[in-house]
Structure 1
Amino acid sequence: MTDFNTIRQFSFPTIIRFGAGAVKELPAHLLANGLSRPLLVTDPMVSGLDFFKAIKESLTAKSISVEVFSDIHKNPVKSDVLKGGDVYKATNRDCIIGIGGGAAMDVARAIVLRINHHRDLFEYDDLIGGDQYVTEAVPYFITVPTTSGTGSEVGRSAIISEDDTHRKRILFAPKLMAKIVFADPLLTMELPSFITAATGMDALTHNMEAYIAKNFHPMAAGIALEGISLINESIVNAVNKPDLASRSKMMIASLMGAVAFQKGLGVVHSLAHPLSSLLDTHHGLANAVNLPYGMRFNAPGLETEFKRMALTMELSETTGEAVINHLFELNKQLGLPTRLRDIGVKEEHIETLSDLALADFCHPNNPKPVTRNDFKQLYTEAL
């Protein structure tokens, strides 16, 4: 029962320029804001692609000095951020543009924090109250997503791991939100099918977990349902027969998932994060495999919520089991595995994974409590 005598705060993100060709507006936007020396933060793969080279050329054609930083891991670590901050200062940059998927966005946002905040990076960890130290001005920050998964382009946080233990830390502050997002679905058209599938299931996980998260946020819940609908109608085509419509729907649904999960995430993300930390598993793939099992854990007692998700997905039956079966089938249609053993997990990993999952920051917002034994059983079931 919701207590309507409790005062709550809701907030929603920044300006989003969305549509085919939106990235072409980037040079004019920089110049209109008196900016001419951007640091482009991306990952090693994106830095070599034709569309990235075209973005650079569009900037230099307007006499904008471009510096690129792409020396980052696929699961970013603290040293990535420190190196990027050094490049920003050494080359006298005046703004930061994150271009890519979640890794590039996380590193770019953490560099934004790092420039004028000089404590140890992890003293700003939100889980230990570090947001109170985010008090200084930050560089002008722009994001350009090239995948439809994390939705990090509209976020206010960065997940960065420790170099040695790979423990994930979360850096959060409202001022770390991008001033503007250029969301151009054309930039996703050349993505390989596996990346499209894994990142797309990441976006679906965000929307589904946000919808059932225990916090009261009806605006975020409504956005999550529409995100689920858009992904359900477009992800198979986006992976197997990509066209502008399917890739556009996936990109906007990814943005919506990241807006929605300010309501919270849950058990699936707490199952997935340790796979990235321990085994360097792609985050979207880890979510994809764990999603049906996590939703099966949550379904009892949430019949109303699962019925609404089933209706949103236009399933013939409106039960929790129908939703779960649909998720297994969706992974198969996308060419993704349905068992952890197929992504390198072994029985001897389960104890360590269970410890890491219990320590994760997402499951406290799950609609029902999750114990270490629950995590162990879920990993064992998914193996």
Structure 2
Amino acid sequence: MISQFNFPTKIRFGAGVIAELPAYLKDNNLSKPLVVTDPNVANLPFFKQIIQDLIAKGISTEVFSDIHKNPVKSDVYKGDEAYYGTHRDCIIGIGGGAAIDVARAILLRINHREDLFKYDDLIGGDVYVTNDVPHFITIPTTAGTGSEVGRSAIIADDETHQKKILFSPKLLAKIIFADPMLTMDLPPFITAATGMDALTHNMEAFVAKNWHPMCDGIALEGISLIHDSLEKAVNKPDLEARSKMLIASLMGAVAFQKGLGVVHSLAHPLSSLLDTHHGLANAVNIPYGMKFNIAGFEDKFKRIARTLNLKDESGEAVVQYLFDLNSKINIPHRLRDIGVKSEHIETLADLAIADFAHPNNPKPVSRDDFRNLYLEAL
């Protein structure tokens, strides 16, 4: 069943809803989209079908897919050149978090011509986002980041690898076409890694220190949906499991406006330094990060345990659940199994303490804490 809801932007959700895209563009007098995706999605049959359907309806379509799996500023500048060089009138982001982040950063770049990182939200750059932006549409193909409903893009510096946040309500999509059919052919590893990314968003948002009861409720429901569906989506996928994961991913991205925490600050340096898949980095680190947060926040973990239907309603049981879930979906338990070496630890700790996520962790995290967490997980 295809349905529509708004939170906060318009979301068209359901199997086959992607077929509405050409008519939506025509109804809004849009005929020259820049379609931003990643190199892998660009070669998949469903993506080629989307492009063929647009062209068949007389819509001039330009595809930009020259992006890194962990996006950098130069990706955005190349996309900006593609937009202006081919005279586009709107932007469609199709894919996972990397593609949609780049699409959103290109959206900002079109009418904001200062250095991209002048608009970094972490230094108050959002106040400079004052001009209009092109019409923006997002179409998720993974159930992970939930970037499709977001207002921000995370882009790294090409040289320093430090991640920057580009943020503004202007960067919300006008409409989201969330079609679980587009996720049906994801390979098990990507389904697992992106699914654990969604779980990390919901779980970290719930324990984050800021007060936002609406996000707390959304996060708990997201955790419940992932508990019900992730293992099946990875190992025996069907439309119901894929649909639940896609909804849970959307919910995680809404919930984490409350904040994230130590797990993301452990994960981001792995992506920027070692080019580790973001979802995989979160997946390996989440048991260790959640263990770090238990003391002093036992009531929060008791509520998570109840949501997971655990017999032992404790933080320790939640951590064990996370290790067990990783095993069931073939995610390794150790950083050494995803390419981290002892000689990386000091640099990783430096990057982690400089990361933007951990200030919202429920308890402070020092550089020594990060170093010790990396060593524990190694």
TM-score of the aligned structures, taking structure 2 as reference length: 0.98
2:268 is equivalent to residue 273 of structure 1: yes
Cα pair 1:13 1:155 within 8 Å, conserved:
no
| Helix, strand or coil at the partner of 1:39 | strand
Partner of 2:87: 92
Q: 1:241 aligns with which of 227, 236, 241?
A: 236
Which residue type is aligned with residue 82 of structure 1? Y
Counterpart CA distance in 1 for 2:312 and 2:24 is 48
Partner of 1:187: 182
Which residue type is aligned with residue 241 of structure 2? S
Cα pair 1:166 1:278 within 8 Å, conserved:
yes
Counterpart CA distance in 1 for 2:324 and 2:197 is 16
Q: Which runs of 4+ in 1 moved over 6 A?
A: none
Partner of 1:346: 341
* Alpha-carbon displacement from aligned partner over 1:54-112 (angstroms, at most 9, x marks no partner): 10111111111100000000001111100101110111100000000011000000000
| Helix, strand or coil at the partner of 1:96 | strand
Q: How does 1:26-175 map to 2 (within 5 A)?
A: 26-175=21-170
Cα pair 1:221 1:260 within 8 Å, conserved:
yes
| Helix, strand or coil at the partner of 2:144 | coil
Which residue type is aligned with residue 221 of structure 2? E
Counterpart CA distance in 2 for 1:189 and 1:129 is 40
2:372 is equivalent to residue 372 of structure 1: no
* Alpha-carbon displacement from aligned partner over 1:128-155 (angstroms, at most 9, x marks no partner): 1110100001000000000000000000
Counterpart CA distance in 2 for 1:231 and 1:201 is 9
Partner of 2:199: 204
- Please provide the CA RMSD for this pair: 0.8
Partner of 2:325: 330
**CA shift at 1:12, angstroms?**
4.9
Counterpart CA distance in 2 for 1:251 and 1:144 is 11
* Alpha-carbon displacement from aligned partner over 1:169-202 (angstroms, at most 9, x marks no partner): 1100010010000000000000000000000000
Counterpart CA distance in 2 for 1:356 and 1:77 is 16
Partner of 2:224: 229
Counterpart CA distance in 2 for 1:24 and 1:259 is 26
Gaps of 5+ in 2: 1-5
Counterpart CA distance in 2 for 1:215 and 1:274 is 24
2:19 is equivalent to residue 24 of structure 1: yes
**CA shift at 1:277, angstroms?**
0.9
Which residue type is aligned with residue 262 of structure 2? V
Counterpart CA distance in 1 for 2:350 and 2:142 is 31
Counterpart CA distance in 2 for 1:323 and 1:342 is 23
Cα pair 1:213 1:263 within 8 Å, conserved:
yes
Partner of 1:3: none
Counterpart CA distance in 1 for 2:100 and 2:322 is 28
Which residue type is aligned with residue 218 of structure 1? P
Partner of 1:381: 376
Counterpart CA distance in 2 for 1:348 and 1:58 is 50
- The number of residue pairs the alignment matches comes to 373
Gaps of 5+ in 1: 1-10
Counterpart CA distance in 2 for 1:15 and 1:119 is 30
| Helix, strand or coil at the partner of 1:158 | strand
Partner of 1:290: 285
Counterpart CA distance in 1 for 2:130 and 2:256 is 25
**CA shift at 1:13, angstroms?**
2.4
Which residue type is aligned with residue 361 of structure 1? F
**CA shift at 1:22, angstroms?**
1.1
| Helix, strand or coil at the partner of 1:68 | strand
**CA shift at 1:317, angstroms?**
1.1
Counterpart CA distance in 2 for 1:179 and 1:37 is 16
Q: Percent identity?
A: 74
Counterpart CA distance in 2 for 1:362 and 1:59 is 39
Counterpart CA distance in 2 for 1:179 and 1:153 is 10
Partner of 2:3: none
Cα pair 1:197 1:239 within 8 Å, conserved:
yes
